[in-house]
């Protein structure tokens, strides 16, 4: 465990060094990150500008849901999404061989190789947005709420990570599907809408989307103090289950990896 932590600290440090060596890339990436962060938050402001609310959520609550999405997805981008972006390239070009040869867990290394320092700007932007929306909702936050929010937030990120990993693992068989990541970005966007919206409109697809809809909805409900212990337990259980499935599926997929050029 200590060795894994040491490796991760080293990786974070190396990613920071790369950022300093290529400052133009840093500013470029910062522009894109802030741009997407702004678009993600502002698109829901635009969408809800002429409504008082929908699906049992007031407009401010929907904006808060979107802000929480911004925080969670920002952390996800910082820690994981760049790694998923390089996943298909690693498999397609046979670079997975060198990952498998290393004396460290392959899922660990593939998931955490790159650290998106720039995406921290998105988290900060979303935090500021949540603070502003919280004022209009007059939410008084206590320490215990923050603690509970952190627990469900971490579980949400774990669930999101596991879902992405399960889907991206398919590139072991379909190496050309480099745009699975883009599909996952779009699918993840579903999580920033109220769960009741899908219960009303999506029919049977609601049950298919159910785990995804827990990721943001439950932390937001905790923040709004609409705490439902059953839902918290459900999120924790599903997150652990999906993580376990992602491990098993990855190990199964590796048995079908045929390499390339090596």
Strand ranges in the chain using DSSP code E only, listed in sequence order: 53-54, 57-58
CA-based nearest residue to 196, from 61, 68, 56: 56
Please tell me the count of residues contacting another protein according to CB under 8 A. Answer: 44
Q: Which residues contact 134 (CB under 8 A, 6 or more apart)?
A: 64, 141
CA distance 121 to 260: 37
228 scored as a contact of another protein (CB under 8 A): no
Q: How far is the CB of 84 from another protein (least distance, A)?
A: 14
What is the distance in angstroms between the CA of the first residue and the CA of the last residue of the chain?
31
Site string for another protein, 47-66 (x = CB under 8 A): xxxxxxxxx-----------
Q: Please identify which residue in 8, 11, 15, 36 interacts with another protein, judged by CB under 8 A.
A: 36
21 scored as a contact of another protein (CB under 8 A): no
Identify which range of 9-17, 154-162, 183-191, 234-242 contacts another protein by CB under 8 A: 183-191
Identify which range of 92-100, 176-184, 232-240, 253-261 contacts another protein by CB under 8 A: 176-184
3-class DSSP assignment, residue 233: helix
3-class DSSP assignment, residue 53: strand
Q: How far is the CB of 88 from another protein (least distance, A)?
A: 11
CA distance 100 to 106: 6
Q: Which is nearer to another protein, 38 or 210 (CB)?
A: 38
Contact at 8 Å (CB) between 130 and 68? yes
**Binding footprint of another protein on the chain (CB under 8 A):** 22, 24-25, 27-32, 35-36, 38-39, 42-43, 46-55, 174, 176-180, 182-183, 185-187, 189-190, 193, 197-198, 200-202
């Amino acid at each position: 465990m200590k060795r894994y932590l040491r490796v991760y600290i080293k990786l974070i440090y190396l990613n920071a060094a790369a950022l300093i060596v290529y400052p133009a890339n840093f500013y470029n990436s910062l522009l894109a990150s802030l741009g997407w962060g702004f678009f993600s938050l502002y698109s829901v402001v635009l969408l809800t500008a002429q409504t008082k609310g929908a699906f049992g959520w007031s407009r401010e609550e929907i904006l808060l849901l979107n802000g929480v999405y911004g925080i969670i997805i920002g952390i996800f981008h910082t820690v994981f999404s760049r790694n998923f972006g390089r996943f298909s390239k690693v498999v397609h070009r046979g670079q997975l061989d060198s990952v498998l040869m290393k004396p460290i867990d392959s899922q660990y290394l593939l998931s955490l190789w790159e650290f998106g320092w720039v995406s921290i700007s998105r988290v900060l932007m979303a935090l500021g947005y949540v603070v502003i929306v919280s004022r209009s909702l007059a939410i008084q936050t206590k320490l215990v709420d923050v603690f509970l929010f952190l627990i469900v937030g971490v579980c949400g990120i774990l669930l999101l990570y596991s879902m992405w990993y399960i889907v991206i693992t398919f590139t072991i068989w379909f190496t050309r599907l480099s745009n699975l990541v883009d599909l996952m970005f779009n699918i993840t966007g579903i999580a920033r809408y109220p769960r009741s919206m899908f219960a009303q409109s999506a029919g049977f697809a609601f049950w298919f989307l159910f785990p995804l809809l827990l990721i943001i909805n439950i932390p937001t409900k905790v923040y709004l103090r609409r705490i439902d212990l059953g839902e918290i337990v459900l999120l924790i259980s599903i997150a652990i289950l999906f993580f376990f499935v992602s491990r098993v599926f990855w190990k199964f997929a590796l048995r079908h990896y045929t390499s390339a050029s090596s």
